[in-house]
Amino acid sequence: MSDPRVDAIRKNTRVGRGSAASIDECYDDAELEDKLDRAAIFTPEEAIKWALEEEGLFHEQGLNAREGNDDDELLKSFEEWSKADKEEK
C-alpha cells in the first residue's frame, strides 16, 4: 500500500516525478517515507511543504560550491527556484 504523503510529493510538479528535483532523483519511496517519519511529517500537505523546503535547501547549498560568477549555473538554478517559490506563495 502506498503512503499518501509520498504520493502527494511524487505528484507535485516542482519536486515530484519528472521534476529533476533532488527529492525525485535521490530518494526511492521507502527512503522518502523514512525521512518523513523521522521528521514527524504526518499529512500530505505537510509532506509537500517539507519536500519544497528540502529542495530549497539543496539549491541554497549549491551556492556554497559555485564559482562565483554572475552567470554561474548554480546561481541561476537557485534564482529560478526562489522565483517559483515566491510565485507559489
Q: Please state the pTM of the whole predicted model.
A: 0.83
C-alpha cell at 10: 511524487
pLDDT at 88: 74
DSSP code of 81?
H
pLDDT at 62: 80
Contact predicate 55/81, CB 8 Å: yes
pLDDT at 78: 82
Backbone dihedral angles phi then psi of residue 38, each to the nearest 5 degrees: -65, -30
Give every residue of the chain whose pLDDT is below 50, as ranges: none
* Number of domains present in the structure of the chain: 1
Range of the domain at 61: 4-88
